[in-house]
Amino acid sequence: ISFIANYLIDNPYLSNISIYHQPPLPFSFYVLIAFISQIINIFYFYIILVISLLALISKVLMKHSQKFNSGILFCFFSSYPLIFMMDRGHILSLLTFLFLLSSIICISSNKNKYAIFFMSLAICMRPTFVLFSLIFLTISKSNFKLFFNNIIKIAISGAVISSVLYVILSNFFYLEYNLQNIFKGLDAYGITYINNLSGQNYGTSFYFFISFFTKSVPVIWTFIFLFFLINIFLFFRIPFKSENLALHLFLLINSVFIITPVNADYYLLLYFIPLYLILREKNNVLKTQSVFIIVISSILLAPKNFFIDGVTIASTINVIFVLISWIFILWYNKFFRWAT
């Protein structure tokens, strides 16, 4: 449809590089916006959509909180990633956050079916979020059969959603959205944002952090793999109990940031979820684990975009704090269990 193509091409943030690298679900939101832009001014639509999403998220946060409703909302609305998202107009990151938040809340409330559905949506929005499916070990505990059943359901749900949307998009709405162009878009994105370092500023990336010390791509990915193994090691060393849900989630967020070369600052909003899991509980705030998550998550959610020679120090500082958090976990856990 011509007006969809015009919207995608005329939009400076979606032209050439970005229009094809998105999976079917987020791309379908582009198509939806293209349709709505024919009816209402896109600026007004953005305002209405953001207000609606923020109101929905606020309702979800308050409904599942045992205390500190006003304090939780203040932390959420004053967080740098949310403000940055609103400034950049990146609705997809807010939707992804909502899907993951909903899944984690359903997991903590033992609503397994809804947790699987929202996790599938989150993964469809951002495929690297497949790592978050490990969080189901928290409720499965030692029942690996239940865990693998959940993983299979997530995989089937995600495959069905993505496949159906891909067929509809590529055959009825935007014929150029096909696998060949998707891979071309990914290559173009990688060249611009990773190889040419365009994604370095206003983002948190282990890839760019390691690139300060070496320019060898194989060496960079070797260190990324090692960092990932350390993080996953910590994840599995912590007992799978409901009271450790926030800490497990914190480590999985780290894993996603480690393996993804480009993470714009609006995705730092993910660190609000483990913070929320702590703040919403009545008797959980003063435990050592809780204090740790409150402090480290708050630091990661705070603005740190000071520039030196045209490069922000935020990415480096965020990575350093993640590394420091590992040292603290290793020291306090003593490789056996997290003390509560």
Question: Coil, strand, or helix at residue 287?
Answer: coil
- Residue keyed to tokens 């559905």: 117
* pLDDT confidence band for 202 (50 / 70 / 90): confident
Stretch (H or E) spanning 80: helix 80-88
pLDDT greater than 50 at residue 340: no
* pLDDT confidence band for 336 (50 / 70 / 90): very low
Q: Which is it for strands 307-308 and 311-312: parallel, antiparallel or unpaired? A: antiparallel
> Which tokens in the block code for residue 43?
């600026």
Percent of all residues in the chain with a pLDDT value above 90, rounded to a whole number: 39
The whole-chain average pLDDT of the chain stands at: 84
- 143-168 average pLDDT score: 91
How confident is the model at residue 244, as a pLDDT? 84
Give 97-111 pLDDT, tens digit per residue.
999 999 999 998 888
- 291-305 average pLDDT score: 89
Contact 108, 122 (CB under 8 A): no
Q: Number of C-alpha atoms within 13 angstroms, CB side, residue 241?
A: 9
* pLDDT confidence band for 333 (50 / 70 / 90): low
How confident is the model at residue 162, as a pLDDT? 94
* Beta-ladder partners of 203: 264
How confident is the model at residue 335, as a pLDDT? 47
> Which tokens in the block code for residue 101?
């938040």
> Quick one: which of 207, 264, 209, 333 has its CA closest to 84?
264
Q: Please measure the distance between the N-terminal and C-terminal CA atoms of the chain and give it in whole angstroms.
A: 58
How confident is the model at residue 6, as a pLDDT? 63
Top-confidence range, 24-28, 171-175, 177-181: 24-28
pLDDT greater than 70 at residue 334: no
How confident is the model at residue 338, as a pLDDT? 44
* pLDDT confidence band for 193 (50 / 70 / 90): confident
Q: Number of C-alpha atoms within 13 angstroms, CB side, residue 248?
A: 24
> Which tokens in the block code for residue 166?
């891909």
pLDDT greater than 80 at residue 14: no
The DSSP result for 114-179, as a single string, is HHHHHHHHHHHH-GGGGGGGGGGHHHHTT-HHHHHHHHHHHHHHHHHHHHHHHHHIIIII-TT-SH
Residue 308 has phi, psi (to 5 degrees) of -125, 115
Measured at the alpha carbon of residue 58, what is the angle toward residues 52 and 63, in degrees to the nearest 5? 125
Top-confidence range, 182-186, 260-264, 303-307, 311-315: 260-264
Contact 155, 119 (CB under 8 A): no
